[in-house]
Amino acid sequence: MTIIDSQVHAYEANTPQRPWATVPNWPAHVTGDEMVAAMDKVGVDGAIFISAFSMYRYDASYAVEVQRAHPNRFGIVKPVDPDDPDVADVVADWKKTPGTVGIRIMLTKEHKHAPDDGLDRIARAAVRYDFPLNILCWGNLDAGMALIGRHPDTRFILDHLGILQPRTPPAPPEPWAELPKVLELARRQNVVIKISGACTLSREPYPFPDIWDPLARIFDAWGFDRCLWGTDWTRAFAVVNYEQAVEPFLKTDRLSEAERAMLMGGACAKAYRWSPKAAP
């Protein structure tokens, strides 16, 4: 079984040479080398490296450096700016960058954008340049669903279950309140869903047994071939460590081996058209 984490973030320490835009409650640094070491420790073969918007905004240069250093371990995804009138050219340039597997938009309520023109421009560019479009719309799921509905030819990847997840424990009293909308969205065949950060929604300690009933409803609605397991580490750092975000999925008896293989790698490889290669 090839294990692919559908979302990780790596970054350098905050320095004048590469300053952070904000300082989230993450470790002081998780470099590409440190991310690979964490993956090796628990048997994760590869990962989709999402350039960290919190630190670097639309600058994905560090992700490019890490992918160049570890070409067999990471596919890279860049956030793109809906307010940039030349965003289609940005997507075209990104397509030429080795190791690229997708683009991303931030569509949460705190990210205020111009009217839908920019988002639609990005969705069309995703089709033109054959990229899946990752969409973070937790807490704003209706807007994400509307965009997905307007662009049936665009391949969307819904980040983090579409459900707002805590940066610190505990989980909110009703962490799965948006689940009915997530299940409804499964009808759209142009979107797949990341089962990323799920452990942060647990109100019980490791190994987080209360996540499995709501996840089972998602698996039933979406099908395992459209569900992409992931850790969302390091965003989830204050809630779970990397091993704790991996092991529950490896060890649960709620998944058959075929389901586990699809959830923890097969669906991700299909969605991004990428998989880690054996080192030469």
Domain ranges of the chain: 4-272
CA separation (Å) from 1 to 75, 146, 247, 269? 18, 36, 15, 12
pTM of the model: 0.97
Q: What is the mean pLDDT of residues 23-43?
A: 97
Q: Which tens digits make up the pLDDT trace of 78-91?
A: 999 999 999 999 99
List the single range of 20-24, 100-104, 109-113 with lowest mean pLDDT.
109-113
Q: Please check whether residue 255 is in contact with residue 263, taking contact to mean a CB–CB distance below 8 angstroms.
A: yes
Partner residues linked to 103 by β-bridges = 78, 133
Q: Which tens digits make up the pLDDT trace of 239-268?
A: 999 999 999 999 999 999 999 999 999 999
pLDDT tier at 111 (50, 70, 90 boundaries)? confident
pLDDT of 280 reads 47
pLDDT tier at 110 (50, 70, 90 boundaries)? confident
Q: What is the DSSP letter of 262?
A: I
How far apart CA 196 and CA 227 sit, in angstroms, is 9
Q: What is the mean pLDDT of residues 190-206?
A: 97
CA dihedral 250→253→259→263, nearest 10 degrees, is -40
Domain 4-272 class? alpha beta
Q: Which tens digits make up the pLDDT trace of 151-162?
A: 999 999 999 999
pLDDT tier at 109 (50, 70, 90 boundaries)? confident
Q: Please check whether residue 155 is in contact with residue 132, taking contact to mean a CB–CB distance below 8 angstroms.
A: yes
Q: What is the mean pLDDT of residues 36-50?
A: 98
In one-letter notation, the amino acid at residue 103 is I
Tokens of 234: 């390091």
Rounded to the nearest angstrom, the gap between the alpha carbon of residue 269 and the centroid of all alpha carbons in its chain is 13
pLDDT of 114 reads 58
Q: What is the mean pLDDT of residues 177-202?
A: 98
pLDDT of 113 reads 66
pLDDT at 279 over 60: no
pLDDT of 133 reads 98
Whole-number average pLDDT of the chain: 96
Partner residues linked to 170 by β-bridges = none
